[in-house]
Chains A and B, each alone.
Chain A
Protein backbone atom coordinates (compact mmCIF):
# COMPACT_ATOMS: atom_id res chain seq x y z
CA UNK A 1 0.00 0.00 0.00
CA UNK A 2 1.30 3.43 -0.92
CA UNK A 3 2.64 5.62 1.85
CA UNK A 4 0.50 8.56 2.91
CA UNK A 5 1.12 11.73 0.91
CA UNK A 6 2.32 14.58 3.12
CA UNK A 7 1.63 18.20 2.21
CA UNK A 8 2.61 21.37 4.06
CA UNK A 9 1.00 24.71 3.19
CA UNK A 10 3.03 27.49 4.75
CA UNK A 11 3.13 31.26 4.89
CA UNK A 12 1.96 33.94 7.26
CA UNK A 13 -1.26 34.50 9.21
CA UNK A 14 -4.00 36.04 7.08
CA UNK A 15 -3.01 34.35 3.82
CA UNK A 16 -5.75 31.78 4.26
CA UNK A 17 -3.55 28.71 4.50
CA UNK A 18 -5.54 26.97 7.19
CA UNK A 19 -8.70 27.42 5.11
CA UNK A 20 -6.80 26.01 2.14
CA UNK A 21 -5.80 23.03 4.31
CA UNK A 22 -9.39 22.42 5.37
CA UNK A 23 -10.57 22.60 1.75
CA UNK A 24 -7.90 20.15 0.64
CA UNK A 25 -8.78 17.76 3.48
CA UNK A 26 -12.49 17.97 2.62
CA UNK A 27 -11.70 17.19 -1.00
CA UNK A 28 -9.83 14.08 0.16
CA UNK A 29 -12.89 13.04 2.17
CA UNK A 30 -15.02 13.40 -0.98
CA UNK A 31 -12.48 11.15 -2.72
CA UNK A 32 -13.10 8.61 0.08
CA UNK A 33 -9.47 8.73 1.20
CA UNK A 34 -8.13 8.80 4.76
CA UNK A 35 -7.00 12.24 5.79
CA UNK A 36 -5.72 14.28 8.71
CA UNK A 37 -5.29 18.03 8.80
CA UNK A 38 -3.37 19.89 11.48
CA UNK A 39 -2.20 23.43 11.83
CA UNK A 40 0.16 25.63 13.71
CA UNK A 41 -0.21 29.34 14.08
CA UNK A 42 0.74 32.17 16.36
CA UNK A 43 -1.70 34.06 18.59
CA UNK A 44 -2.07 36.90 16.08
CA UNK A 45 -4.67 36.70 13.31
CA UNK A 46 -2.56 38.69 10.82
CA UNK A 47 1.16 38.29 10.36
CA UNK A 48 3.23 35.81 12.26
CA UNK A 49 3.73 32.28 11.05
CA UNK A 50 1.01 29.98 9.87
CA UNK A 51 1.02 26.51 8.42
CA UNK A 52 -1.43 23.76 7.65
CA UNK A 53 -0.50 20.10 7.15
CA UNK A 54 -2.62 17.70 5.18
CA UNK A 55 -1.82 14.00 5.02
CA UNK A 56 -3.78 11.88 2.55
CA UNK A 57 -3.59 8.09 2.45
CA UNK A 58 -5.46 4.82 2.21
CA UNK A 59 -4.46 3.21 5.49
CA UNK A 60 -4.43 4.43 9.09
CA UNK A 61 -2.56 7.72 9.39
CA UNK A 62 -0.63 7.59 12.63
CA UNK A 63 1.14 10.91 13.12
CA UNK A 64 -0.97 13.83 11.92
CA UNK A 65 1.81 16.36 11.33
CA UNK A 66 3.79 16.30 8.11
CA UNK A 67 7.46 15.58 8.84
CA UNK A 68 8.87 14.74 5.39
CA UNK A 69 6.93 16.60 2.76
CA UNK A 70 5.92 15.16 -0.58
CA UNK A 71 4.81 18.67 -1.42
CA UNK A 72 5.61 22.03 0.12
CA UNK A 73 3.76 25.22 -0.72
CA UNK A 74 5.55 28.33 0.56
CA UNK A 75 3.89 31.72 0.27
CA UNK A 76 6.53 33.66 2.22
CA UNK A 77 10.31 33.78 2.21
CA UNK A 78 10.46 32.91 5.91
CA UNK A 79 8.29 29.80 5.52
CA UNK A 80 10.35 28.68 2.57
CA UNK A 81 13.61 29.13 4.49
CA UNK A 82 12.35 27.17 7.51
CA UNK A 83 10.64 24.24 5.82
CA UNK A 84 12.57 23.64 2.61
CA UNK A 85 15.02 21.27 4.31
CA UNK A 86 12.25 18.84 5.21
CA UNK A 87 11.11 18.42 1.62
CA UNK A 88 11.70 14.90 0.32
CA UNK A 89 14.39 14.58 -2.37
CA UNK A 90 11.75 13.85 -4.99
CA UNK A 91 9.21 16.20 -3.38
CA UNK A 92 7.45 19.04 -5.14
CA UNK A 93 8.19 22.63 -4.13
CA UNK A 94 5.73 25.36 -5.05
CA UNK A 95 6.66 28.94 -4.18
CA UNK A 96 4.96 32.29 -4.61
CA UNK A 97 7.67 34.40 -6.21
CA UNK A 98 5.78 37.55 -5.20
CA UNK A 99 7.28 37.02 -1.74
CA UNK A 100 9.85 34.24 -2.08
CA UNK A 101 12.94 35.69 -3.71
CA UNK A 102 15.70 33.30 -2.71
CA UNK A 103 15.92 29.54 -2.47
CA UNK A 104 18.44 28.37 0.13
CA UNK A 105 18.75 25.06 -1.72
CA UNK A 106 17.47 23.74 -4.99
CA UNK A 107 14.70 21.19 -5.16
CA UNK A 108 14.34 18.74 -8.01
CA UNK A 109 10.75 19.68 -8.82
CA UNK A 110 10.29 23.39 -8.26
CA UNK A 111 7.44 25.54 -9.50
CA UNK A 112 8.06 29.27 -9.21
CA UNK A 113 4.79 31.15 -9.72
CA UNK A 114 3.87 34.73 -8.76
CA UNK A 115 0.46 33.67 -7.40
CA UNK A 116 -0.26 36.87 -5.48
CA UNK A 117 0.72 39.12 -8.40
CA UNK A 118 -1.43 37.06 -10.76
CA UNK A 119 -4.58 37.17 -8.63
CA UNK A 120 -4.16 40.89 -7.96
CA UNK A 121 -3.88 41.49 -11.71
CA UNK A 122 -6.71 39.17 -12.75
CA UNK A 123 -9.11 39.43 -9.81
CA UNK A 124 -8.17 42.74 -8.27
CA UNK A 125 -7.26 41.52 -4.79
CA UNK A 126 -4.62 39.29 -3.18
CA UNK A 127 -7.09 37.43 -0.95
CA UNK A 128 -7.57 34.44 -3.24
CA UNK A 129 -3.87 33.63 -3.63
CA UNK A 130 -4.50 30.69 -1.28
CA UNK A 131 -7.11 29.10 -3.55
CA UNK A 132 -5.15 29.86 -6.71
CA UNK A 133 -2.02 28.20 -5.33
CA UNK A 134 -4.03 25.32 -3.87
CA UNK A 135 -5.64 24.64 -7.25
CA UNK A 136 -2.18 24.72 -8.82
CA UNK A 137 -0.96 22.24 -6.19
CA UNK A 138 -3.90 19.90 -6.79
CA UNK A 139 -3.31 19.95 -10.54
CA UNK A 140 0.43 19.23 -10.37
CA UNK A 141 0.28 16.64 -7.58
CA UNK A 142 -3.04 14.99 -8.41
CA UNK A 143 -3.53 14.36 -4.69
CA UNK A 144 -7.28 14.92 -4.97
CA UNK A 145 -9.68 15.07 -7.90
CA UNK A 146 -10.29 18.53 -9.31
CA UNK A 147 -14.08 18.04 -9.02
CA UNK A 148 -13.65 17.22 -5.33
CA UNK A 149 -11.64 20.40 -4.86
CA UNK A 150 -14.39 22.38 -6.55
CA UNK A 151 -17.04 20.86 -4.27
CA UNK A 152 -14.88 21.44 -1.19
CA UNK A 153 -14.43 25.12 -2.06
CA UNK A 154 -18.18 25.59 -2.47
CA UNK A 155 -18.74 23.89 0.91
CA UNK A 156 -16.13 25.95 2.75
CA UNK A 157 -16.47 29.58 1.71
CA UNK A 158 -19.43 31.90 2.12
CA UNK A 159 -21.89 31.66 -0.82
CA UNK A 160 -21.12 35.23 -1.90
CA UNK A 161 -17.46 34.34 -2.39
CA UNK A 162 -17.83 31.05 -4.26
CA UNK A 163 -17.62 32.63 -7.71
CA UNK A 164 -14.54 34.65 -6.84
CA UNK A 165 -12.82 31.57 -5.46
CA UNK A 166 -13.82 29.52 -8.50
CA UNK A 167 -12.14 32.14 -10.68
CA UNK A 168 -9.00 31.88 -8.55
CA UNK A 169 -9.18 28.10 -8.83
CA UNK A 170 -9.46 28.23 -12.62
CA UNK A 171 -6.47 30.58 -12.70
CA UNK A 172 -4.52 28.03 -10.68
CA UNK A 173 -5.49 25.24 -13.06
CA UNK A 174 -4.48 27.33 -16.09
CA UNK A 175 -1.12 28.19 -14.53
CA UNK A 176 -0.53 24.50 -13.87
CA UNK A 177 -1.43 23.57 -17.46
CA UNK A 178 1.08 26.14 -18.71
CA UNK A 179 3.85 24.77 -16.52
CA UNK A 180 3.11 21.10 -17.05
CA UNK A 181 3.45 21.37 -20.84
Chain B
Protein backbone atom coordinates (compact mmCIF):
# COMPACT_ATOMS: atom_id res chain seq x y z
CA UNK B 1 0.00 0.00 0.00
CA UNK B 2 2.80 2.36 0.96
CA UNK B 3 4.62 1.82 -2.33
CA UNK B 4 1.44 2.42 -4.23
CA UNK B 5 0.91 5.72 -2.50
CA UNK B 6 4.47 6.75 -3.19
CA UNK B 7 4.07 5.89 -6.83
CA UNK B 8 0.96 7.99 -7.26
CA UNK B 9 2.66 10.85 -5.45
CA UNK B 10 5.63 10.66 -7.78
CA UNK B 11 3.33 10.42 -10.72
CA UNK B 12 1.45 13.52 -9.68
CA UNK B 13 4.72 15.31 -9.03
CA UNK B 14 5.88 14.53 -12.53
CA UNK B 15 2.74 16.17 -13.84
CA UNK B 16 3.61 19.55 -12.43
CA UNK B 17 6.28 20.04 -15.05
CA UNK B 18 4.02 18.95 -17.89
CA UNK B 19 3.59 21.78 -20.36
CA UNK B 20 0.41 22.00 -22.44
CA UNK B 21 0.82 20.50 -25.88
CA UNK B 22 2.52 23.07 -28.15
CA UNK B 23 0.48 22.12 -31.22
CA UNK B 24 -2.61 23.43 -29.46
CA UNK B 25 -2.89 26.80 -31.15
CA UNK B 26 -6.08 28.65 -30.60
CA UNK B 27 -7.63 30.63 -33.38
CA UNK B 28 -10.98 32.26 -33.77
CA UNK B 29 -13.47 29.68 -32.70
CA UNK B 30 -17.09 29.34 -31.75
CA UNK B 31 -16.83 28.33 -28.12
CA UNK B 32 -19.23 27.64 -25.31
CA UNK B 33 -18.58 29.25 -21.91
CA UNK B 34 -17.95 25.81 -20.43
CA UNK B 35 -15.50 24.96 -23.22
CA UNK B 36 -13.68 28.22 -22.54
CA UNK B 37 -13.40 27.24 -18.86
CA UNK B 38 -11.93 23.85 -19.79
CA UNK B 39 -9.38 25.41 -22.18
CA UNK B 40 -8.60 28.17 -19.68
CA UNK B 41 -7.95 25.55 -17.01
CA UNK B 42 -5.52 23.65 -19.22
CA UNK B 43 -3.78 26.83 -20.37
CA UNK B 44 -3.35 27.83 -16.71
CA UNK B 45 -1.57 24.55 -16.11
CA UNK B 46 -4.34 22.56 -14.45
CA UNK B 47 -3.31 18.90 -14.60
CA UNK B 48 -5.75 17.32 -12.17
CA UNK B 49 -9.54 17.25 -12.31
CA UNK B 50 -11.74 15.25 -9.99
CA UNK B 51 -15.45 15.74 -10.29
CA UNK B 52 -18.97 14.52 -10.59
CA UNK B 53 -20.58 15.83 -13.80
CA UNK B 54 -23.74 17.86 -13.27
CA UNK B 55 -25.87 20.03 -15.54
CA UNK B 56 -25.15 22.79 -16.50
CA UNK B 57 -21.41 22.30 -15.92
CA UNK B 58 -21.06 18.86 -17.54
CA UNK B 59 -19.14 20.02 -20.63
CA UNK B 60 -16.19 21.08 -18.44
CA UNK B 61 -15.79 17.54 -17.05
CA UNK B 62 -16.49 16.06 -20.48
CA UNK B 63 -13.75 18.03 -22.21
CA UNK B 64 -11.18 17.60 -19.45
CA UNK B 65 -11.85 13.84 -19.27
CA UNK B 66 -10.80 13.67 -22.89
CA UNK B 67 -8.03 16.27 -22.97
CA UNK B 68 -6.20 15.96 -19.63
CA UNK B 69 -5.00 12.35 -20.10
CA UNK B 70 -3.65 13.29 -23.56
CA UNK B 71 -1.46 15.91 -21.89
CA UNK B 72 -0.26 13.70 -19.08
CA UNK B 73 -2.86 15.00 -16.66
CA UNK B 74 -5.36 13.13 -14.54
CA UNK B 75 -9.13 13.03 -14.73
CA UNK B 76 -10.97 11.20 -11.97
CA UNK B 77 -14.69 10.55 -12.03
CA UNK B 78 -15.60 10.66 -8.34
CA UNK B 79 -18.49 9.09 -6.49
CA UNK B 80 -19.84 12.46 -5.40
CA UNK B 81 -18.97 16.11 -4.88
CA UNK B 82 -17.70 15.67 -1.31
CA UNK B 83 -15.09 13.26 -2.62
CA UNK B 84 -14.38 15.60 -5.56
CA UNK B 85 -13.37 18.60 -3.46
CA UNK B 86 -11.32 16.36 -1.16
CA UNK B 87 -9.53 14.78 -4.14
CA UNK B 88 -8.52 18.11 -5.65
CA UNK B 89 -7.30 19.37 -2.27
CA UNK B 90 -5.18 16.25 -1.82
CA UNK B 91 -3.83 16.42 -5.36
CA UNK B 92 -2.87 20.04 -4.84
CA UNK B 93 -0.87 19.13 -1.73
CA UNK B 94 1.24 16.84 -3.90
CA UNK B 95 1.95 19.74 -6.27
CA UNK B 96 -0.78 19.44 -8.89
CA UNK B 97 -2.83 22.35 -10.13
CA UNK B 98 -6.29 21.07 -9.37
CA UNK B 99 -9.80 22.09 -10.36
CA UNK B 100 -13.34 20.78 -10.16
CA UNK B 101 -16.61 21.93 -11.72
CA UNK B 102 -20.12 21.61 -10.40
CA UNK B 103 -23.49 23.28 -10.02
CA UNK B 104 -25.72 24.26 -7.07
CA UNK B 105 -26.46 20.85 -5.50
CA UNK B 106 -22.82 19.78 -5.82
CA UNK B 107 -21.59 23.17 -4.63
CA UNK B 108 -23.64 22.71 -1.45
CA UNK B 109 -22.04 19.32 -0.84
CA UNK B 110 -18.58 20.78 -1.38
CA UNK B 111 -18.89 23.48 1.26
CA UNK B 112 -17.14 21.62 4.07
CA UNK B 113 -14.30 20.65 1.76
CA UNK B 114 -13.98 24.24 0.56
CA UNK B 115 -13.57 25.32 4.18
CA UNK B 116 -10.91 22.62 4.60
CA UNK B 117 -8.99 23.85 1.55
CA UNK B 118 -9.16 27.37 2.92
CA UNK B 119 -8.03 26.60 6.48
CA UNK B 120 -5.23 24.36 5.18
CA UNK B 121 -4.36 27.09 2.66
CA UNK B 122 -4.31 24.63 -0.22
CA UNK B 123 -4.63 26.08 -3.74
CA UNK B 124 -7.56 24.78 -5.78
CA UNK B 125 -10.40 26.06 -7.95
CA UNK B 126 -14.10 25.25 -7.82
CA UNK B 127 -16.17 26.25 -10.84
CA UNK B 128 -19.86 26.61 -10.04
CA UNK B 129 -22.08 26.97 -13.11
CA UNK B 130 -25.15 28.20 -11.29
CA UNK B 131 -28.58 26.80 -11.96
CA UNK B 132 -31.98 27.54 -10.51
CA UNK B 133 -32.33 26.38 -6.90
CA UNK B 134 -32.88 25.68 -4.12
CA UNK B 135 -32.15 21.94 -4.10
CA UNK B 136 -32.42 20.20 -7.49
CA UNK B 137 -34.35 23.22 -8.79
CA UNK B 138 -34.35 23.65 -12.54
CA UNK B 139 -31.16 22.05 -13.90
CA UNK B 140 -31.19 23.77 -17.29
CA UNK B 141 -32.34 27.21 -16.16
CA UNK B 142 -30.27 30.21 -15.09
CA UNK B 143 -30.24 31.83 -11.66
CA UNK B 144 -27.77 33.87 -9.61
CA UNK B 145 -28.73 32.36 -6.29
CA UNK B 146 -25.25 31.28 -5.14
CA UNK B 147 -23.62 34.70 -4.79
CA UNK B 148 -23.91 34.69 -0.99
CA UNK B 149 -23.22 30.96 -0.71
CA UNK B 150 -19.94 31.46 -2.55
CA UNK B 151 -18.79 33.60 0.37
CA UNK B 152 -20.71 32.27 3.35
CA UNK B 153 -21.46 28.67 2.37
CA UNK B 154 -18.76 27.13 4.53
CA UNK B 155 -19.03 27.43 8.30
CA UNK B 156 -16.75 29.73 10.24
CA UNK B 157 -15.21 32.98 9.05
CA UNK B 158 -13.23 32.34 5.95
CA UNK B 159 -11.80 34.56 3.24
CA UNK B 160 -13.30 34.24 -0.22
CA UNK B 161 -12.06 34.99 -3.70
CA UNK B 162 -14.91 34.65 -6.17
CA UNK B 163 -14.79 35.65 -9.84
CA UNK B 164 -17.75 36.18 -12.15
CA UNK B 165 -17.40 36.43 -15.97
CA UNK B 166 -20.02 37.84 -18.36
CA UNK B 167 -18.81 36.44 -21.69
CA UNK B 168 -17.21 33.36 -23.21
CA UNK B 169 -13.90 35.12 -23.70
CA UNK B 170 -13.94 36.30 -20.10
CA UNK B 171 -14.80 32.78 -18.90
CA UNK B 172 -11.47 31.73 -20.40
CA UNK B 173 -9.58 34.66 -18.89
CA UNK B 174 -11.11 34.42 -15.43
CA UNK B 175 -10.52 30.67 -15.26
CA UNK B 176 -6.82 31.35 -15.76
CA UNK B 177 -7.01 34.14 -13.21
CA UNK B 178 -8.81 31.87 -10.73
CA UNK B 179 -6.05 29.26 -11.00
CA UNK B 180 -3.38 31.96 -10.72
CA UNK B 181 -4.97 33.55 -7.65
CA UNK B 182 -5.44 30.17 -5.98
CA UNK B 183 -1.74 29.45 -6.42
CA UNK B 184 -0.67 32.92 -5.32
CA UNK B 185 -2.94 33.20 -2.29
CA UNK B 186 -2.96 29.52 -1.36
CA UNK B 187 -6.71 29.26 -1.14
CA UNK B 188 -9.77 27.76 -2.80
CA UNK B 189 -10.89 30.23 -5.46
CA UNK B 190 -14.43 30.04 -6.79
CA UNK B 191 -15.46 30.84 -10.34
CA UNK B 192 -19.18 31.55 -10.67
CA UNK B 193 -20.81 31.20 -14.06
CA UNK B 194 -24.41 31.70 -15.04
CA UNK B 195 -26.06 28.78 -16.82
CA UNK B 196 -26.52 31.04 -19.84
CA UNK B 197 -22.81 31.92 -19.92
CA UNK B 198 -21.79 28.29 -19.52
CA UNK B 199 -23.96 27.17 -22.42
CA UNK B 200 -23.68 30.27 -24.60
CA UNK B 201 -21.53 30.13 -27.72
CA UNK B 202 -19.61 33.16 -28.95
CA UNK B 203 -16.90 33.74 -31.50
CA UNK B 204 -13.74 34.23 -29.52
CA UNK B 205 -10.08 34.63 -30.28
CA UNK B 206 -8.00 32.87 -27.69
CA UNK B 207 -4.44 34.08 -27.18
CA UNK B 208 -1.32 32.12 -28.05
CA UNK B 209 -0.09 30.23 -25.03
CA UNK B 210 3.08 32.29 -25.05
CA UNK B 211 0.97 35.31 -24.08
CA UNK B 212 -0.88 33.61 -21.24
CA UNK B 213 0.43 34.66 -17.84
CA UNK B 214 0.60 31.69 -15.52
CA UNK B 215 1.35 31.98 -11.81
CA UNK B 216 2.52 28.99 -9.80
CA UNK B 217 2.88 28.63 -6.04
CA UNK B 218 6.07 29.84 -4.37
CA UNK B 219 8.25 26.94 -3.34
CA UNK B 220 10.21 27.02 -0.07
CA UNK B 221 13.91 27.82 -0.36
CA UNK B 222 14.80 26.91 3.21
CA UNK B 223 16.14 23.48 4.17
CA UNK B 224 13.38 21.00 5.11
CA UNK B 225 13.97 21.21 8.89
CA UNK B 226 13.42 25.00 8.81
CA UNK B 227 10.23 24.78 6.78
CA UNK B 228 7.02 26.11 8.29
CA UNK B 229 3.90 25.17 6.37
CA UNK B 230 2.27 28.47 7.31
CA UNK B 231 5.04 31.02 7.30
CA UNK B 232 3.95 34.52 6.58
CA UNK B 233 6.26 36.58 4.52
CA UNK B 234 5.30 39.78 2.75
CA UNK B 235 1.59 40.33 2.22
CA UNK B 236 0.73 37.16 4.14
CA UNK B 237 1.64 34.87 1.24
CA UNK B 238 3.77 31.94 2.29
CA UNK B 239 5.75 29.33 0.32
CA UNK B 240 4.18 25.92 -0.13
CA UNK B 241 6.03 22.62 -0.22
CA UNK B 242 4.55 19.55 -1.85
CA UNK B 243 4.37 16.12 -0.30
CA UNK B 244 7.14 13.93 -1.56
CA UNK B 245 9.76 16.68 -1.82
CA UNK B 246 11.38 15.99 1.54
CA UNK B 247 9.52 18.68 3.44
CA UNK B 248 7.49 17.41 6.35
CA UNK B 249 4.34 19.17 7.38
CA UNK B 250 1.06 18.42 9.05
CA UNK B 251 -2.28 19.17 7.43
CA UNK B 252 -5.45 19.35 9.48
CA UNK B 253 -8.81 21.05 9.43
CA UNK B 254 -8.30 21.83 13.11
CA UNK B 255 -7.10 25.29 14.00
CA UNK B 256 -3.33 24.98 13.78
CA UNK B 257 0.03 26.60 14.45
CA UNK B 258 2.60 27.57 11.84
CA UNK B 259 3.78 23.95 11.48
CA UNK B 260 0.23 22.76 10.92
CA UNK B 261 -0.27 21.07 14.29
CA UNK B 262 -3.56 21.51 16.13
CA UNK B 263 -3.70 24.21 18.75
CA UNK B 264 -6.22 25.57 21.21
CA UNK B 265 -4.09 28.54 22.23
CA UNK B 266 -6.01 31.76 21.61
CA UNK B 267 -2.81 33.55 20.50
CA UNK B 268 -2.04 30.95 17.84
CA UNK B 269 -5.67 30.68 16.78
CA UNK B 270 -5.76 34.46 16.46
CA UNK B 271 -2.62 34.43 14.33
CA UNK B 272 -4.07 31.85 11.97
CA UNK B 273 -7.42 33.59 11.61
CA UNK B 274 -5.75 36.95 11.02
CA UNK B 275 -3.53 35.47 8.33
CA UNK B 276 -6.56 34.02 6.53
CA UNK B 277 -8.31 37.39 6.71
CA UNK B 278 -5.40 39.68 5.94
CA UNK B 279 -4.16 37.84 2.90
CA UNK B 280 -7.44 38.96 1.32
CA UNK B 281 -8.03 42.36 2.93
CA UNK B 282 -4.42 43.51 2.47
CA UNK B 283 -4.44 42.62 -1.22
CA UNK B 284 -7.73 44.16 -2.34
CA UNK B 285 -6.07 46.03 -5.21
CA UNK B 286 -4.68 42.86 -6.66
CA UNK B 287 -7.93 40.95 -6.21
CA UNK B 288 -10.73 43.33 -7.14
CA UNK B 289 -11.51 43.88 -10.81
CA UNK B 290 -14.42 45.93 -12.08
CA UNK B 291 -15.70 47.15 -15.42
CA UNK B 292 -17.07 50.66 -15.58
CA UNK B 293 -18.90 51.94 -18.68
CA UNK B 294 -20.42 55.35 -19.36
CA UNK B 295 -20.12 56.23 -15.66
CA UNK B 296 -18.33 59.60 -16.02
CA UNK B 297 -21.48 61.73 -16.32
CA UNK B 298 -24.04 59.12 -15.26
CA UNK B 299 -26.95 60.09 -13.01
CA UNK B 300 -28.31 56.57 -13.04
CA UNK B 301 -26.08 53.54 -12.55
CA UNK B 302 -26.79 49.87 -13.07
CA UNK B 303 -24.86 47.44 -10.93
CA UNK B 304 -24.99 43.99 -12.46
CA UNK B 305 -22.89 40.83 -12.68
CA UNK B 306 -22.67 37.94 -15.13
CA UNK B 307 -25.46 37.59 -17.65
CA UNK B 308 -27.39 40.46 -16.05
CA UNK B 309 -24.66 42.86 -17.10
CA UNK B 310 -25.21 41.79 -20.71
CA UNK B 311 -28.87 42.82 -20.41
CA UNK B 312 -27.81 46.02 -18.65
CA UNK B 313 -25.26 46.91 -21.32
CA UNK B 314 -27.94 46.74 -24.00
CA UNK B 315 -30.33 48.82 -21.91
CA UNK B 316 -27.58 51.40 -21.29
CA UNK B 317 -26.75 51.60 -25.00
CA UNK B 318 -30.43 52.16 -25.86
CA UNK B 319 -30.94 54.71 -23.07
CA UNK B 320 -27.76 56.60 -24.05
CA UNK B 321 -29.04 56.78 -27.63
CA UNK B 322 -32.09 58.56 -26.20
CA UNK B 323 -29.88 60.94 -24.23
CA UNK B 324 -30.38 59.47 -20.75
CA UNK B 325 -27.20 59.69 -18.60
CA UNK B 326 -26.90 56.11 -17.44
CA UNK B 327 -23.87 53.89 -16.91
CA UNK B 328 -22.97 50.43 -15.70
CA UNK B 329 -20.65 49.17 -13.00
CA UNK B 330 -19.85 45.46 -13.14
CA UNK B 331 -17.83 43.38 -10.70
CA UNK B 332 -15.54 40.76 -12.27
CA UNK B 333 -14.46 39.95 -8.73
CA UNK B 334 -17.58 39.50 -6.68
CA UNK B 335 -15.74 38.62 -3.44
CA UNK B 336 -13.98 40.51 -2.00
CA UNK B 337 -16.73 42.97 -2.87
CA UNK B 338 -15.61 46.11 -4.75
CA UNK B 339 -16.47 48.42 -1.83
CA UNK B 340 -14.51 51.46 -3.03
CA UNK B 341 -15.96 51.47 -6.54
CA UNK B 342 -19.48 51.01 -5.17
CA UNK B 343 -19.06 53.85 -2.64
CA UNK B 344 -17.86 56.13 -5.43
CA UNK B 345 -20.85 55.12 -7.55
CA UNK B 346 -23.26 55.80 -4.67
CA UNK B 347 -21.77 59.26 -4.17
CA UNK B 348 -21.93 60.22 -7.84
CA UNK B 349 -25.33 59.06 -9.05
CA UNK B 350 -28.94 59.72 -8.03
CA UNK B 351 -30.18 56.18 -8.51
CA UNK B 352 -28.64 52.72 -8.59
CA UNK B 353 -30.57 49.90 -10.24
CA UNK B 354 -29.55 46.35 -9.30
CA UNK B 355 -30.98 43.64 -11.57
CA UNK B 356 -30.25 40.11 -10.35
CA UNK B 357 -31.63 36.60 -10.84
CA UNK B 358 -32.37 35.91 -7.19
CA UNK B 359 -34.46 37.29 -4.37
CA UNK B 360 -31.96 40.06 -3.61
CA UNK B 361 -28.32 39.25 -2.84
CA UNK B 362 -26.06 41.87 -4.44
CA UNK B 363 -28.45 44.56 -3.24
CA UNK B 364 -27.56 43.72 0.38
CA UNK B 365 -23.92 44.51 -0.18
CA UNK B 366 -24.73 47.83 -1.79
CA UNK B 367 -27.13 48.69 1.00
CA UNK B 368 -24.35 47.91 3.46
CA UNK B 369 -22.25 50.59 1.79
CA UNK B 370 -24.98 53.23 1.70
CA UNK B 371 -24.09 55.63 4.48
CA UNK B 372 -25.08 59.19 3.58
CA UNK B 373 -28.56 60.48 2.95
CA UNK B 374 -27.13 62.07 -0.17
CA UNK B 375 -26.20 58.65 -1.57
CA UNK B 376 -28.16 57.43 -4.56
CA UNK B 377 -31.48 55.62 -4.13
CA UNK B 378 -31.40 51.87 -4.53
CA UNK B 379 -33.79 50.00 -6.77
CA UNK B 380 -33.77 46.23 -6.74
CA UNK B 381 -34.93 44.23 -9.77
CA UNK B 382 -35.35 40.57 -9.01
CA UNK B 383 -36.35 37.59 -11.05
CA UNK B 384 -36.36 34.04 -9.84
CA UNK B 385 -38.25 31.83 -12.28
CA UNK B 386 -35.58 30.42 -14.57
CA UNK B 387 -35.84 33.22 -17.13
CA UNK B 388 -33.72 36.34 -17.60
CA UNK B 389 -34.52 39.97 -16.85
CA UNK B 390 -34.60 41.46 -20.36
CA UNK B 391 -32.88 44.63 -21.59
CA UNK B 392 -36.32 46.17 -22.19
CA UNK B 393 -37.35 45.64 -18.58
CA UNK B 394 -34.20 47.40 -17.40
CA UNK B 395 -34.73 50.17 -19.96
CA UNK B 396 -38.29 50.69 -18.68
CA UNK B 397 -36.95 50.97 -15.13
CA UNK B 398 -34.33 53.48 -16.27
CA UNK B 399 -37.05 55.60 -17.87
CA UNK B 400 -39.22 55.32 -14.76
CA UNK B 401 -36.56 56.85 -12.55
CA UNK B 402 -35.19 59.33 -15.09
Contacts and interface: CB of A to CB of B under 8 A. Distances in A.
Contact of A64 (B30, B200, B392): B200
A67 B140 contact: no
Contact of B199 (A28, A34, A38, A62): A38
Interface in B223-269: none
Contacts of B196: 38, 64-65
B30 A62 contact: no
Interface stretch (A40-48, A96-104, A161-169): A40-48
Nearest to B390: A67
Interface in B174-199: 196, 199
Given A63-B314, A65-B388, A39 B199 contact: yes
Nearest to A156: B30
A97 to B, nearest CB: 29
Q: Looking at chain B, what size class is its interface with the partner chain? A: 20 to 34
A43 B139 contact: yes
Interface string A144-180: 0000000000000000000000000000000000000
A116 interface: no
B311 A22 contact: no
Contacts of A35: 30, 201-203
Interface string B125-156: 00000000000000111000000000000000
Contacts of B388: 65
Interface residues of A, number: 23
Query: What is the predominant secondary structure among interface residues of chain A facing chain B?
Result: mixed
Contact of B201 (A36, A42, A63): A36
B215 to A, nearest CB: 30
B140 A62 contact: no
A22 B30 contact: yes
Contacts of A61: 202
Interface string B312-335: 011001000000000000000000
B391 interface: yes
Given A29-B28, A35-B202, A36-B202, A67 B310 contact: no
A26 interface: yes
Contacts of A65: 196, 388, 390
B314 A22 contact: no
B199 A29 contact: no
Nearest to B391: A63
A63 B316 CA distance: 11
A158 to B, nearest CB: 16
Contacts of A64: 196, 200, 202, 307, 310
Contacts of B390: 63, 65, 67
Contacts of B307: 64
Interface string B11-35: 0000000000000000011100000
A16 to B, nearest CB: 16
A60 B310 CA distance: 11
A67 B392 contact: yes
Nearest to A26: B30
Nearest to B393: A67
Interface string B155-179: 0000000000000000000000000
Contact of A22 (B29, B201, B391): B201
A25 interface: yes
B30 A67 contact: no
Contacts of B202: 35-37, 61, 64
B139 A62 contact: no
A37 B140 contact: no
A38 B311 CA distance: 14
Nearest to A41: B140
Interface in B360-402: 388, 390-392
Given A36-B200, A63-B314, 12 more contacts: A22-B30, A25-B30, A35-B30, A38-B200, A39-B199, A41-B140, A43-B139, A62-B391, A63-B313, A64-B196, A64-B310, A67-B391
16 contacts: A22-B201, A28-B203, A29-B29, A29-B203, A33-B203, A37-B30, A37-B201, A37-B202, A38-B200, A39-B199, A40-B141, A61-B202, A62-B313, A63-B314, A63-B390, A67-B391
In order of increasing CB-CB distance, the 6 nearest A-B pairs are A62-B314, A37-B201, A62-B313, A63-B314, A29-B203, A38-B200
Interface of A: 22, 25-26, 28-29, 33-43, 60-65, 67
